[in-house]
Amino acid sequence: MNKQNVIITGANRGIGLAIMEQFAEAGANIFACARKETEQFVNLIEELKAKYEVKITPVYFDLMNESMIKAGAKQILSITKKIDVLVNNAGISYSGLFHMTPVDKLKEVFQVNFFSQILFTQLISRVMMRQRSGCIINMASVGGIEAKPGYLAYGSSKASVIWETRCLAVELGQYNIRVNAIAPGLVDTEMGHVKSEDEIEKVLNRTPLSRMADKDEIAKAVLFLASEDASFITGEILKVDGGRCC
């Protein structure tokens, strides 16, 4: 990954931050995308730049705003004409039973987790198509594979990400662009602890390794899929879930 140009969305916390740290350690130059600037995020970027001697450029845009997404992509492409890796990590969670899920909330979840990702990927993948190389990694979820009560919005959006991943792998393979997704199980992050303790216990009882994933374990899986070690892997949905059973 040394000196490769990598875009990471949702890089300011949780899994996204862990992904940024892994790529920085590997020597990549990073465009770290987040919704807004914070002092903590800026300080983290400066620490990683100094520690690993890489370039990290913060890019700010709101995934609910298509004009801002386009402006963010334009900013990135004004700095570099070559993009090696795109990691679509940003997303939001929402739980609610079918009859209790407002359509507006469903639209919001899909806008962030799916439609905005599609738009941003369209803009960035055109560069990859011209250079005839690239790697796209989407953050899906086991929630998009297994059906559980209360996850209509989130699960449906992640199922769409899985289908998108497979479709893009077929369409973009002719340009030497690989497209894969990670489907994490329960991860020890702020989003992972949105569930109640009772829900978490039930999930862990269905997980052979009997624990939550560390965010670095997810980030290392992303780094693997972006590496030359995965050069013949595309269209894959890699579950990183501790063997979670339905």
Q: According to the model, what pLDDT value does residue 193 have?
A: 66
CATH number, residue 30 = 3.40.50.720
Q: According to the model, what pLDDT value does residue 246 have?
A: 58
Q: Is the pLDDT of residue 86 over 70?
A: yes
Active site residues: 154
Report DSSP state, residue 133.
-
Residue 143 in tokens = 């929630």
Domain membership of residue 34 (yes or no) is yes
Name the percent of the chain lying above pLDDT 90. Answer: 83
Q: According to the model, what pLDDT value does residue 244 have?
A: 85
Domain membership of residue 245 (yes or no) is no
Q: Is 196 helix (H, G, I), strand (E, B) or coil?
A: coil
Query: Strands (DSSP E) along the chain, which ranges?
Result: 5-9, 29-34, 56-60, 85-88, 134-139, 177-184, 237-240
Domain membership of residue 177 (yes or no) is yes
Residues 6+ apart with CB under 8 A from 113: 91, 92, 154, 157, 158, 160, 161
Q: According to the model, what pLDDT value does residue 192 have?
A: 67
Q: Which residues pair with 180 in a beta bridge?
A: 137
Q: Is the pLDDT of residue 196 over 90?
A: no
Task: For the chain, give the mean pLDDT.
Answer: 94
Range of the domain at 211: 5-240
Residues 42-64 pLDDT 10s: 999 999 999 999 999 999 999 99
Indicate the pLDDT class of residue 194, thresholds 50, 70 and 90.
low
**Is the four-CA dihedral 48, 55, 17, 234 of positive or negative sign?**
negative
- Residues constituting the chain: 246
CB distance 197 to 144 below 8 Å? no
Q: According to the model, what pLDDT value does residue 97 have?
A: 87
Domain membership of residue 246 (yes or no) is no
Q: Is the pLDDT of residue 10 over 80?
A: yes
Number of domains in the chain: 1
Domain membership of residue 178 (yes or no) is yes
Q: Is 176 helix (H, G, I), strand (E, B) or coil?
A: coil
Q: Give me the mean pLDDT over the 18-28 stretch.
A: 98
Indicate the pLDDT class of residue 8, thresholds 50, 70 and 90.
very high
Q: Give me the mean pLDDT over the 186-196 stretch.
A: 77
Which of residues 16 and 246 earns the better pLDDT score? 16
